[in-house]
Structure 1
Amino acid sequence: MYIHNLSQQNSVLNTFISEIRDANIQKDSMRFRRNIERIGEVLGYEMSKSLNYKTATIKTPLANCTMDLLENDIVLCSILRAGVPLQNGLLNYFDRAENAFISAYGHHKENPESFEIVVEYLACPDLENKTLILADPMLATGQSMVATFEALKPFGAPKEVHLVSVIGAQKGIDYVSDAFNKNTHLWIASIDKVLNDKSYIIPGIGDAGDLAYGRKLQQ
């Protein structure tokens, strides 16, 4: 797997990451969502440099000019609900992309330290020969990303796959690296080393879905 860790170079992205980590700034859910969206825009821009382009002729009011324009047929898939702001950021740059949505969450059984990924809702266009972008802001264990990809397989075989996350744990990155094709790309804003016994990334940010949309009742 090709891993593109944007935190390895200093940029304004650091500001957005610091704000989603900051416990005081996190209290403003609208700003939290907007920062996730802005991170998605940065990740999308960097990803765009690796995609395919074709030359087109553009007619201006004064003359024709040639430009290289994106030719990938893109499908964006976010994991509900935390993935929605990240998907919005990617859509700001890939505005002609088709969209898929999936509900995948960790269901804890008798042992609170173990869980299985449950998929309850899925809406997806045809993926055959498309460029699939899977967006999940927190790459903790990596199980949600893998379960999502498995659930999408009946919709066709994409030509290429890109994973997009805001913050990941090294354990989760190792897991998806083993599970996905070696030509898969991971675009990530920051990597933390530790994953605690409840599968939260440390230092991380906490629960991205709760911070974006409010706390949920546990079932």
Structure 2
Amino acid sequence: MYIHNLSLQNSVLNTFISEMRDLGIQKDRMRFRRNIERIGAILAYEISKSLSYKTSTVKTPLAHCTMDLMENDIVLCSILRAGVPLHNGLLNYFDKAENAFISAYRHHKENPENFEIIVEYLACPDLENKTLILADPMLATGQSMVATFEALKPFGKPKDVHLVSVIGANDGVDYVKNNFCKNTHLWIATIDDTLNSKGYIVPGLGDAGDLAFGKKLQQ
């Protein structure tokens, strides 16, 4: 797997991540969502550098101009619900992309530290020979990303796969690395060291879905 960790080079990305982590600033849901969206746009720009291009001619009011334009057929797939603002950030750059949405959540049994990933809702176009961008803001254990990809397999085999996250843990990165093809790309804003006993990223930022959209009732 090709791992692109954008935090290895300082940029304005640091500011957005810092505000998402900050206990005071992150309480502003609108700003939290906006920061995820802005990070999604930055990651989309970086992904675009690795895609395929073909030479095209554009007619301007004064002459003809030759330019290299992206030719990938892109499908953006986001994991609900925290993935919505990240999806918007990616879609702002890949505005011609097709879109897929899937729900994946942790189902806790008797022990709150043990869980399984449940996939329920899924809406997806044909993926055959297309460029799949699979987005989930938090790459904690990596199980949601893998479970989602398995659920997408009946829709066709993508030509290439790009995984997108805002914050990950080393454990999650290792898990997806071991469960995706070697030519898969992971684009991530920053990677933290550890997970706690409940599988949350440390230092992380908390529950991205709750921070973006409000706390949910536990069933």
Letter in 2 for 1:18: S
Which amino acid is the alignment partner of residue 171 of structure 2?
K
Q: Secondary structure at the match of 1:111?
A: coil
The equivalent residue for 1:60 is 60
The Cα offsets for residues 101-154 of structure 1, whole Å up to 9 and x where unpaired, read as 000001001111111000110000000000000000000000000000000000
Q: Which residue of 2 aligns with 1:131?
A: 131
Q: Which amino acid aligns with 1:77?
A: C
1:107 aligns with 2:75: no
Query: Is 1:211 the counterpart of 2:211 in the alignment?
Result: yes
What SS class does the counterpart of residue 14 from structure 1 fall into? helix
Partner of 1:13: 13
Residue 31 of structure 2 corresponds to 31
In structure 1, C-alpha distance between the alignment counterparts of 2:55 and 2:78, rounded to whole Å: 30
Q: Distance in 1 between matches of 2:11 and 2:111?
A: 42
CA-CA distance at 1:183 after TM superposition: 0.2
User: 1:145: which partner in 2?
Assistant: 145
Q: Does 1:43 align with 2:58?
A: no
Structure 1 residue 78 corresponds to structure 2 residue 67: no
Aligned equivalents of 2:159, 2:109: Cα separation in 1:
36
CA distance in 1, matches of 2:27, 2:191: 23
Residue identity matched to 1:89: G
2:169 is the alignment partner of 1:166: no
Unaligned runs of 5+ in 2: none
The corresponding residue for 1:182 is 182
Task: Give % identity.
Answer: 83
TM-score, normalised to structure 2, is 1.00
CA distance in 2, matches of 1:187, 1:52: 17
Alpha-carbon distance between aligned partners in 2 of 1:143 and 1:81, rounded to the nearest angstrom: 16
- Which whole-Å CA distance do the structure 1 matches of 2:142 and 2:214 have between them? 23
3-state DSSP class of the match of 2:61? coil
Aligned alpha-carbon RMSD (Å): 0.4
Structure 1 ranges of 4+ moved more than 4 A: none
Q: TM-score, normalised by structure 1?
A: 1.00
Partner of 1:50, secondary structure, is coil
Matches of 1:55 and 1:218 in 2, distance apart?
53
Output the CA distance in 2 between the equivalents of 1:30 and 1:12: 19
- Inter-partner Cα distance in structure 2 for 1:60 and 1:23: 50
- Matching residue's letter, 1:211: L
Distance 1:89 1:110 in 2: 37
Distance 1:142 1:158 in 2: 20
In 1: Cα distance, 2:14 partner to 2:212 partner: 19
CA distance in 1, matches of 2:154, 2:18: 39
